[in-house]
Structure 1
Amino acid sequence: MSKHATVSFGDGLRLEMQKWGISVHTVEPTLYRTPISQEGRIHSALDRFWQECSEDVKKSYGDEYIKDFKTTISNHLNKAKPSEKIKEVIDDMVDAVAGNDPKTRYVPSVVTQIRAKLLSSLPENLRDHFFLSSQPQTPPAYVAERKKKQPSLVDPRSIVDKTRPPNAKLERVFSMPNWGKNEMTPSPKTDAELKFKF
């Protein structure tokens, strides 16, 4: 999320600085095995943050969720590129600063570029499914507790309305005045005034 925000900021800054003859370039690396991505260090920080949380936050998430979250982080860190590959990021940074014809946007590694293109071309629901599958699968304690106490909502499309003719479609009505032929046609004010299309 922070990387996405930084890239958006870079895009806006590039447009703003163009009039001054200043170019702005973004380098968007993925995860590499560096000291900042060491599993023990991240888990220690997470444990410290968890201890500092208020009791209502701890109760809402629950210990099982935090355990699953730590496992998810570990799985993600295991996919980090080896530290010797960090050279591809440095090369892009050097080219952005000192190259003859620097790119506006650098995404180190061809594999990462292809993956990003494929993800961006997927329909939104498939892309969401892909990202959600890499998150903790244990629901927060509050959600799990609510599911036990309360039945799930009924899909309103499954409710049959006996007052409406079969295959009838509700006409879309806008709340704004309909200005036509130099006169104002009031919008229907009650459900009884709604029309059906056949």
Structure 2
Amino acid sequence: MDLKAETSWRVRAVLLNVADSASIDSAVRFVRNETGKCGLWGLVNNAGRSIPIGPSEWMQVEDFRKVLDVNLFGLIELTLKLLPLLKKARGRVINVSSVMGRLVLTGGGYSVSKWAVESFSDSLRRDMRHFGVKVSVIEPGFFKTAVTNVNLIDADLRRLWEQLPMDVKETYGEKYLENYIKAQRFAMSLLCSKDISKVTHCMQHALTARHPRSRYAAGWDARLIWLPISYLPSFMADFIVCALFPVPKEDGTACLNQVNVTNP
């Protein structure tokens, strides 16, 4: 009722858990009943989760799976099941990826899922062009949402740290966790924008423009920092990204350099 009061009586809402196939099937039936013979004009896949993020060595396979189930597999399943309706209307698919789908900043399943969303979107765009269905990707920078909630990120980083074996902790050093958290907090406070309309304007254009773009960069940091870095040679991008995070106690790069010098 609150949603209708804020928007329009024409709005229809349905609860959807993209990580549950039964929930997806229920939502597809709802959409089919609402759209009838007209088909579906637009699908915006925006559901996502970020945590756990952090050094990949700190995680288990299940930590990756939790993120992939929402960010990737749920997106793919919902899209495939709605494709018949989208083809009927010659509609639009808009997948919300991230700048981290172009440039990896941390370990964990988030960047893995967003790179896969980029790939899925590219293949789907080329397949569906023959049927008049247009597919766009939105690559937001950092915005103040639940995905970038520093308190949630901090708590999960501490959880990951506490479950590490002692020998692994020793390779990072006792101060590494706190320094990593400080780096995350500093980056979020500096980069996160409160203006979510920069993302929703991209969605609107992708849904309504006669010629929607294949990709949209949302946010000043996406346009001026992260996407330009993604085009740099790997050694240059590595240097910049690694400078954002603390160095583990056992830094193997010094040993590697020594080997290269003594063994030409």
SS of 2:135's equivalent?
coil
RMSD over equivalenced CA pairs, Å: 3.0
Name 1:153's counterpart in structure 2: 259
* Match 1:81 to one of 166, 184, 192: 192
**Which structure has the greater CA radius of gyration?**
1
* Match 2:237 to one of 122, 127, 131: 127
Post-superposition Cα deviations, 1:1-58, rounded to whole Å, max 9, x if no partner, equal 4233322332122223333332211000011122332222211111122223344433
Amino acid at match of 2:115: H
Between the aligned partners of 1:151 and 1:122, the Cα distance in structure 2 is: 23
Between the aligned partners of 2:257 and 2:200, the Cα distance in structure 1 is: 54
* Alignment check: 8 A CA contact 1:14 1:24 kept: yes
Between the aligned partners of 1:144 and 1:16, the Cα distance in structure 2 is: 46
Name 2:171's counterpart in structure 1: 60
Instruction: From the superposition, tell whether residues 54 and 125 of structure 1 become closer, same or farther in structure 2 (CA, over 3 Å).
Output: closer
Bigger RCO of structures 1 and 2 (CA < 8 A, at least 6 apart): 1
Instruction: From the superposition, tell whether residues 114 and 36 of structure 1 become closer, same or farther in structure 2 (CA, over 3 Å).
Output: closer
Matches within 5 A, 1:1-198: 1=104, 2=111, 3-83=114-194, 85-109=195-219, 112-116=222-226, 118-120=228-230, 122-136=232-246, 138-139=247-248, 141=249, 143-144=250-251, 152-155=258-261, 156-157=263-264
SS of 2:223's equivalent?
helix
Post-superposition Cα deviations, 1:142-161, rounded to whole Å, max 9, x if no partner, equal x259979x99325233xxxx
SS of 1:25's equivalent?
strand
TM-score normalized by structure 1?
0.63
TM-score normalized by structure 2?
0.49
Task: Give structure 2 stretches of 5+ with no counterpart.
Answer: 1-103, 105-110
The CA deviation at 1:62 is 3.3
Instruction: From the superposition, tell whether residues 54 and 18 of structure 1 become closer, same or farther in structure 2 (CA, over 3 Å).
Output: farther
Between the aligned partners of 1:45 and 1:113, the Cα distance in structure 2 is: 29
Task: Give structure 1 stretches of 5+ with no counterpart.
Answer: 158-198
Amino acid at match of 2:204: V
